[in-house]
Structure formats: structure tokens, C-alpha cells
Chains A and B, each alone.
Chain A
Amino acid sequence: MFDLTGKSALVTGATGGIGAEIARSLHKQGATVTLSGTRVERLEALAEELGDRVHMQAANLSDRDSVAQLVPAAEEKMGGLDILVNNAGITRDNIFMRMKDDEWDQVLEVNLTSTFHICRAAIKGMMKRRAGRIIGITSVVGVTGNPGQVNYSAAKAGMIGMSKSLAREVASRGITVNTIAPGFIRSAMTDELNDKQRDSILSSVPAGRLGNGDEIAAAAVYLASDEAAYVTGQTLHVNGGMAMI
């Protein structure tokens, strides 16, 4: 099950904790993977770790020219694109009353607008091939909200709405469009929390622990697989029970 041999995948934000795990898991299931991210050394390190069936395309998603090149470059390197994982994202947290225009604009541009551009570039080939998987990594806060993150939660909620509409448009062409909403996932950021902060977070998680990147990646593998052909327009919540939607 969930065999991805012969499939081509593009993962944005592949240098981040969750993105790297998604790339590893898709690759492990047999997919050829193009890694995209801003930090070239990290891309190279991950590419080296994975070995064969790996390509790299550095991209800065706040730069529209760079975004425009991403899908054509990936398609050229891999001879097509079956699985698109829009994982890249940034935060610029601030309380609403203090939020600057550029904090809002940057987060919407990188997290939502670039996703629109990348999806639009990818969908043409998927339509022709009558197959495709688009997976967006959103966030539990896109559904529940979170103080200090009006920009981030708006972008992540926007991603969910966009995915649903696109899913309706292309479902008859064998293309599925879904999102995964991680809860609190162990990362460089959560490692810096002190015990008190950690306890406070964990008190809202019934599972009593942080999630791991590979648990998000497992959801991505499922949604990318042929077995998930009848799942579209959905948001798969992977959050240890912290929000049950």
C-alpha cells in the first residue's frame, strides 16, 4: 500500500522540519522528489542523505519570478509532476493591534499567494495527465485561531478554502486537493520552549505530547497515494486531539 514508485513529487519548504520529513517519506515510498527551499546548504545536505531520485530547485516564495520558475523547473527535472506539496510557510507574529502592514503582506504572500501561483502552474500538466495530488500544509490555527497570529491563521484558513474550491473544479479529472493541519509539532522552535511553556501547551493536547514531523509526513504519503483517490477537499487534522473538528 501507498507505493509511490514512479511518481514525481515537489516539496516546498523542504529544508524545514516538517518539509524535510515529508520529502524523506515520499522518497522512501519510491517517489522521485524535487526539494525546494531557500537555504541551499540544507537542500544539498538533504539531497545527499536521500541519494538517488532527488533534484533541487532553490526558490524564494516571496519573489514571484522565483515562484514562476518552480513548477516548470521541477517538471523538466522529473519529466512531470504527480504530487505537489505546498509546505513552505513563514510566521510574523504580533498582536492584532500592533500588526504592521508588511507583517500581514509577507505572510499572505508566502503562505497563500505563492500557493495559488504554484498550484496554477502545476494544474495544467495534471489535467493533461488526468491525475494529480495537491497537498497543502495548513495549520490547526487556520481553523481554531490563535492570538498573535491573525496573519498566519488568515493565510492558513485561506489555503483550506482555496483547496476546497480547487478540489471541486478538478475532481472529475482525477486530481485531488487536500490539506493537512498539524497541531504542535516538535521543531527547533518548540525545543526552545521552557518547561512551563511546554506544560501549558501540552495541557491542551489530549495525547499529552508534541507531534513529530514524520507523523505529518505519514498523512502526506497517504493523501499522495493512489489509495486516497476518493479523498478530496478535505483537511486532515494531525494534532493529538487538541482540536477535534
Chain B
Amino acid sequence: MSNVAEQVKKIVVEHLGVEAEKVTETASFIDDLGADSLDTVELVMAFEEAFGVEIPDDAAETIQTVGDAVKFIESKAS
């Protein structure tokens, strides 16, 4: 698992209060991890802060799973 993936996972676990095993790459924030729409906004804000990237609203709407988030952040960082 990449550094970004590790950190994303940590943020998700902390923010949503879910067990780390559940935070797989394909896990959907809303369907699998019990997030509501406000949680997803806050996760995006937390990612922005942690990785120093800007995630515009239209991109944020496409980030549905843990893997989506990792992919987006890695694409920005590289």
C-alpha cells in the first residue's frame, strides 16, 4: 500500500470511526462505511488539508470510494 493510501485510510478510520479492516480500496464511503453526505464533504476537506491539494467540487463528487480518493490525490501529487 502506498503512503498516500495509508494516510487516506488513517483519515477515514479517524473521521468515520470505522474499523480499519473495512477501509478497503473498493469500500464506498456512503454505502460501506456509513458516511452521510456531510461526512463526505468533511473527508474531502480533511484530504485537502493533509495532502495540501485542492479538490474542486466537481472532482469531489466523483470521489465515492477509498480508491477514488487515493487515485485523485496521487494524480495531483505526481
Contact = CB atoms under 8 A, between A and B. Distances in A.
A128 B38 contact: no
Contacts of B38: 127, 169-170, 172-173
Interface of A: 124, 127-128, 169-170, 172-173
A149 to B, nearest CB: 35
Question: Main secondary structure on chain A at its contact with chain B?
Answer: helix
Which secondary structure characterizes the binding site on chain B? helix
A107 to B, nearest CB: 29
A127 B39 CA distance: 10
Nearest to B38: A169
A170 to B, nearest CB: 7
B18 interface: no
B53 interface: no
Nearest to A173: B38
Contacts of A128: 45
A46 B38 CA distance: 39
Contacts of A127: 38, 41-42, 45
A170 B45 CA distance: 15
10 contacts: A124-B45, A127-B38, A127-B41, A127-B42, A127-B45, A128-B45, A169-B38, A170-B38, A172-B38, A173-B38
Contacts of B45: 124, 127-128
Contacts of A124: 45
A173 B41 CA distance: 12
A172 B38 CA distance: 10
